[in-house]
Structure 1
Amino acid sequence: MKPIARSLLLCALLLSPSVWASEAAPARAAHPDGAVIASGHSLATDAGMEILAKGGNAFDAAVAVSSTLAVVEPISSGLGGGGFFLLHDARTGKDVMLDARETAPESATPDQFLDKNGDLDRDRSVNGAWSAGIPGLPAALVQIAREHGRLPLKDSLAPAIRVATDGFPVYARMARGYASRAEVMERYPGTREVYLRNGRPIAEGDVFKQPELAHTLQLLADRGFDGFYRGETGRRLLAGVKQAGGRWTAEELAGYTVKTREPIVFNYGDWKITTAPPPSSGGIALASMLQILEGWDLGKMDAAHRTHLVVEAMRRAYRDRTFFLGDPDFVDIPQKVLTSRDYAQGLRATIHPEKATPSDLLSGNPTPLEDEETTHFSIIDAEGNRVGGTQTVNLLYGSGLIPAGTGVLLNNEMDDFALKPGTPNAFGVMGYEANAPKKGKRMLSSMTPTFMEKDDKVVVIGTPGGSRIITMVLLGILGYDDGLTAQQVAALPRYHHQWLPDLIEAEDGTFDAETVKQLQAMGHKIDLPGDSAAGGRGSSHVWGNLQTVEWDRSTNTLYGGSDPRNPVGSARVEKPAKAD
């Protein structure tokens, strides 16, 4: 080669972006070295790992984890409820959200929830057959296995069937929850048959077996969708609802469909955030809050000023949540505007850096609340597939109604609708047309399964917690952005503001005395849980059950974080054994 040609070639190589990139940027692993699962119960985490060891992928594991949670966390979720499943396919790079939210039966018109005086009948809206929407979780399990999994559905459901048959120890939260709902649950023969042992309610330490639920799961495994929504189980569900005074039809039960929706995607700093679209309110609220907050360097602020700005972002996002959000198949949601950076900049401009904005200056009515009894799991497999699943039956033990012979505890998600205009339900939900019940409509939710990605990190995060779900996920995202580990993020202290009531709620120990003093000087009202004399409620409540997993691509290391507030939760990292 001539000297001039060699010189030109050398210059070209030196200027080549690929050469400089390989020297400047650390190598990133293409696939994780193993798998990680975090869920609200160790038996569910174990079930997912068992399925991975049999050659399944993250989606097969999700079916195993979800169905096992439906067995071991009846206080939080079950086949009689619904959920949202955020999926990432590593081969195609595609993200989708499966919307398995419950739907309103045709009979559930607003007038059916009024008493003789025209007031909201709170017993009917939260207890028994009228409070239950058409379940979505079984259909989601079938669809995940069929469209995304590698193993037959019967293989992925096998761990849940085994646990329902053999039983598991009743834990403290499960027993306490039953005690608080016993009066309602013991109204119904099918529920008494499951939860009473020789006339005695379940107690901590009992081995809780559910043979009827195992049979229902087996029919689902054998016949797929028809095994739950038609045939034996379908007939028993319809009969149980009718016996309890409700009205479902065979056509609307068999007509349930899972909706495949496009996730909400936006950037926060170096992170790409992929999260839940309507009928979840979480993704739009996260986009609004994070894009408001990106205007400040939160890491350089003292605790009081950082909290002040985060709370002001929460306040504005929750105000919008109330007025604009509902089921997108029924309501025209201005999603493009609400998730835009320009809109967030406009909201940011209304925030005073040293003073709280009184919520009554942001006109409107109280924000809908939702119950806290929900569950979440996060999965990354060895191929890089990932799943964030959040599922629920709404209140503790849902409606309290188990149709005889099914073992299926029905949800009470109808209470998440606005059942009477202008009248709050038991959790403060005000009535608005955007969230009014109609046949086939899905009630508004706060469930927010979320992915975070940047050059060297991949994260799956989510939590239960009712209306606090969104703010817990927000604080988790900010924690990862600060460089915290997965377990540190799961353990973060939590605070929350939802526009109205105009109050910062916080767990015990979240703020020190000086931070509280500074926030109050800015005009914030703070609920101090353990100090009723200082204006708090005198409680020591803790929130949520956050489950998160992380893949550090620079070191090819997996991490799991399971909320320490939940003693039966579990995060496991391991290399699954290869199938025989």
Structure 2
Amino acid sequence: MLATLLLLAGAVQAAQPGRAAVATPHPSATVAGLETLAQGGNAFDAAVAISAALAVAEPYGSGLGGGGFFLLRQAGEKPVYRFLDARERAPLAAHPRLYVRDGKVDPALSLDGPLAAAIPGLPAALADLAGHYGRLPLADSLTPAIRLARDGISVDRIYRERASWRLSSMRDDRETARLFLDDKGEVPEEFSLLRQPELANTLERMARYGKAGFYSGPTAEKMVEGVNAAGGIWSLRDLADYKTVERQPIRFPLADGRELIGAPPPSAGGIALAQSLAMLQELPWRKADRVQRTHYVVEVLRRAYRDRSLLGDPDFVAIPQTKLLDTDYLKKLASGIDVRRATPSSSLPPSPPLHEGEHTTHFAVIDKDGNAVAATLSINLPFGAAFTVPGTGVLLNDEMDDFATNPEGANAYGLAASQANAVGSGKRPLSSMSPTFIESDQEFTAFGTPGGSRIPSMVLLSVLEYLDGQPVSRWPAVARYHHQYLPDQIEHEPGAFSSSESAELQARGYSLKPLTRNYGNQQVLFWNKAKGSLEAASDPRGLGLSEVLEVEKMK
């Protein structure tokens, strides 16, 4: 569902939007954000409310048992950008051979059950956002989510689809089956009511005690006891030691006075986007027909994704960020692109690709003062590890699978491993989550989507729509295709290319892989400072709702 509201030009000064806008993938989360803004909260309070509401309404995509990245804009004469890393951390007892049994990796161990779960980061992020940046008490911003968890949320078609994909794993855990399946262990009927009273209790403890309400005391004790009783390796110290990390966002100059503000490592997305846009600036992509533009986009993605094996948790490995974003280096990469022919990935220096779960979530919010948040949250695969800690309502992530789980060089999917992203005690796994801003004196935009390793390519295609002057509603709706160096193929949505376009791409040397369904769920914002207008749009592929809040409805 797409809802885009355009405000009248000239209504505000360039320094502030004067109104607020919210774009989320679920109407209940949008309402939670709008409610919080109407009560006098700022964008950071709204981000807390939205994140917590999504934890209730989209248990298949994010939750208190997961983590995420928050890109922040603090308004002012000169905006300040911050990046809050709430990525999950490996338990302290984790080690490179954690998933090796009898000399071979057992892929199920990093996908299902508590051994697949890293230490959650989202609860800490909510407390930190409220405590360091918000105007309202944490309890006020958590109120909508607590209400949703107690009163129930209607099961929709996306919930049913995601649950059907993970049905077997969900049935294997008694608590997950009890909470998220029907009485017969089947996917609940559409419009049936999903109530989560244990999760409401956990949220209420957070509302009362803040971060300590999750990472210590009764909740922490239940988490550790439940995880370890089922074969996990958590400790109370793992929870007590968890902290979010404030990192410097990627800041990369673009043409026409614009600047990209993106996600730094342990996200691979910000660097990939900066590299891709820098290479495209060396190519005549704007004047190209559709096939030629696709050719340019695929070739820059091929080169950007190749560099991802150099990335990992910056607290554990050295990241050659300066080299990867060096102008001369990127010009050299662009100069190696053949104008007419595909570059076989095998002809480029090898670099292992990355596997990630696709089913994360993303939202964006901006308040009347110009504070803004773009956040991508995840528990990895749909319904995470399909393991819910008894007595807490917390469905755990399976983010440990985002590490290179095979120390001998290939992960459970047959993909070569990156030693920079090997399993390690206390490490954060590499991610493609890419909350992104682009700002100039005249405009401010926010982008982001779920989608695993396809996230940077999706964001890139939406950014190109923006740079090409297309309407905001087109940005999240654009047809999607993807190339990630290996496998050497263009994946694309059904109908993304006509038969003649497909034939021409194949004639250029590309292998095309049509997918059976659409993917991604992008949420975007656009503040035109010069015209005094504000717009928000949600991906038509999902059930999202984007709205603009009038000044008179805010305190």
Scaled by the length of structure 2, the TM-score of the pair is 0.95
Query: In structure 2, what is the Cα distance between the partners aligned to 1:67 and 1:309?
Result: 40
1:393 paired to 2:379: yes
Query: In structure 2, what is the Cα distance between the partners aligned to 1:49 and 1:503?
Result: 42
Query: In structure 2, what is the Cα distance between the partners aligned to 1:47 and 1:436?
Result: 38
Structure 1 stretches (4+) deviating beyond 3 angstroms? Answer: 196-201, 422-429, 576-580
Q: Indicate if the aligned counterparts of 1:562 and 1:571 stay in contact, CA closer than 8 A.
A: yes
1:527 to partner: Cα distance: 1.5
Q: Equivalent of 2:300, from 313, 319, 329?
A: 313
Query: In structure 2, what is the Cα distance between the partners aligned to 1:466 and 1:294?
Result: 26
Query: In structure 1, what is the Cα distance between the partners aligned to 2:414 and 2:355?
Result: 6
Quick one: structure 1 residues 179 and 144, their matched pair in 2 at CA, closer, same or farther if it must change by over 3 Å? same
Q: Which residue of 1 aligns with 2:98?
A: 112
Q: Which residue of 2 aligns with 1:430?
A: 416
Q: Equivalent of 1:291, from 274, 278, 294?
A: 278
Secondary structure of the 1:186 match is helix
Q: Indicate if the aligned counterparts of 1:366 and 1:501 stay in contact, CA closer than 8 A.
A: no
Instruction: Note the residue ranges of structure 1 that are not aligned, 5 or more in a row.
Output: 1-25, 530-538
**Following superposition of structure 1 onto structure 2, how do residues 259-338 of structure 1 map, counting pairs within 5 Å?**
259-270=245-256, 271-322=258-309, 324-338=310-324
The superposition leaves residues 532-575 of structure 1 with CA deviations (integer Å, 9 ceiling, x where unpaired) of xxxxxxx2x11100000111112211111100000x21100121
1:243 to partner: Cα distance: 1.3
> Which is further off, 505-514 or 71-80?
505-514
Q: Equivalent of 1:62, from 42, 47, 65?
A: 47
The superposition leaves residues 265-290 of structure 1 with CA deviations (integer Å, 9 ceiling, x where unpaired) of 11221221100000000011111111
1:137 to partner: Cα distance: 0.3
Q: Which residue of 2 aligns with 1:244?
A: 230
**Following superposition of structure 1 onto structure 2, how do residues 102-251 of structure 1 map, counting pairs within 5 Å?**
102-116=88-102, 118-201=103-186, 202-251=188-237
1:331 to partner: Cα distance: 0.7
Q: Equivalent of 1:71, from 35, 42, 56?
A: 56
Q: Equivalent of 1:362, from 328, 348, 355?
A: 348
1:220 to partner: Cα distance: 0.6
Secondary structure of the 1:257 match is coil
Q: In structure 2, what residue type is equivalent to 1:320?
A: D
Query: In structure 2, what is the Cα distance between the partners aligned to 1:235 and 1:275?
Result: 36
The superposition leaves residues 180-212 of structure 1 with CA deviations (integer Å, 9 ceiling, x where unpaired) of 222222222322331244344322211101000
Quick one: structure 1 residues 73 and 429, their matched pair in 2 at CA, closer, same or farther if it must change by over 3 Å? farther
Q: Indicate if the aligned counterparts of 1:487 and 1:561 stay in contact, CA closer than 8 A.
A: yes
> Which is further off, 547-556 or 386-395?
547-556
Q: Which residue of 1 aligns with 2:32?
A: 47
Q: Equivalent of 1:506, from 492, 513, 523?
A: 492
Secondary structure of the 2:98 match is helix
Secondary structure of the 1:184 match is helix
Q: In structure 1, what residue type is equivalent to 2:27?
A: S
Query: Comparing both chains, which one has the higher relative contact order based on Cα–Cα distances under 8 Å and sequence gaps of 6 or more?
Result: 2
1:355 to partner: Cα distance: 1.1
Query: In structure 2, what is the Cα distance between the partners aligned to 1:504 and 1:195?
Result: 35
Q: Indicate if the aligned counterparts of 1:552 and 1:558 stay in contact, CA closer than 8 A.
A: yes
The superposition leaves residues 217-260 of structure 1 with CA deviations (integer Å, 9 ceiling, x where unpaired) of 00011100110011111011001101111111101111001000
Q: Indicate if the aligned counterparts of 2:97 and 2:407 stay in contact, CA closer than 8 A.
A: no
1:445 paired to 2:421: no
Q: Indicate if the aligned counterparts of 2:88 and 2:119 stay in contact, CA closer than 8 A.
A: yes
> Which is further off, 514-523 or 546-555?
514-523
1:484 to partner: Cα distance: 1.4
Secondary structure of the 1:479 match is helix
Secondary structure of the 1:440 match is coil
Secondary structure of the 2:447 match is strand
The superposition leaves residues 350-385 of structure 1 with CA deviations (integer Å, 9 ceiling, x where unpaired) of 111111110001132541121111000011110011
1:516 to partner: Cα distance: 1.9
Query: In structure 1, what is the Cα distance between the partners aligned to 2:79 and 2:18?
Result: 19
- How many residues are paired up? 542
The superposition leaves residues 115-135 of structure 1 with CA deviations (integer Å, 9 ceiling, x where unpaired) of 22x111111110101100000
**Following superposition of structure 1 onto structure 2, how do residues 476-515 of structure 1 map, counting pairs within 5 Å?**
476-515=462-501
Quick one: structure 1 residues 161 and 473, their matched pair in 2 at CA, closer, same or farther if it must change by over 3 Å? same
1:28 to partner: Cα distance: 5.7
1:546 paired to 2:507: no
Q: Indicate if the aligned counterparts of 2:405 and 2:412 stay in contact, CA closer than 8 A.
A: no
Query: In structure 2, what is the Cα distance between the partners aligned to 1:294 and 1:145?
Result: 39
Instruction: Note the residue ranges of structure 2 that are not aligned, 5 or more in a row.
Output: 1-10
Q: Indicate if the aligned counterparts of 2:177 and 2:185 stay in contact, CA closer than 8 A.
A: no
Query: In structure 2, what is the Cα distance between the partners aligned to 1:89 and 1:411?
Result: 30
Q: In structure 2, what residue type is equivalent to 1:132?
A: A
Secondary structure of the 1:111 match is coil
Q: In structure 1, what residue type is equivalent to 2:279?
A: I
Quick one: structure 1 residues 121 and 142, their matched pair in 2 at CA, closer, same or farther if it must change by over 3 Å? same
Q: In structure 2, what residue type is equivalent to 1:572?
A: E
Query: In structure 2, what is the Cα distance between the partners aligned to 1:170 and 1:424?
Result: 38
Q: Which residue of 1 aligns with 2:536?
A: 560
Q: Indicate if the aligned counterparts of 1:456 and 1:553 stay in contact, CA closer than 8 A.
A: yes
The superposition leaves residues 369-413 of structure 1 with CA deviations (integer Å, 9 ceiling, x where unpaired) of 211110000111100111000000000100001010000000000
Alpha-carbon RMSD across the aligned residues, in angstroms, is: 1.6
Quick one: structure 1 residues 417 and 275, their matched pair in 2 at CA, closer, same or farther if it must change by over 3 Å? same
Q: Indicate if the aligned counterparts of 2:352 and 2:417 stay in contact, CA closer than 8 A.
A: no
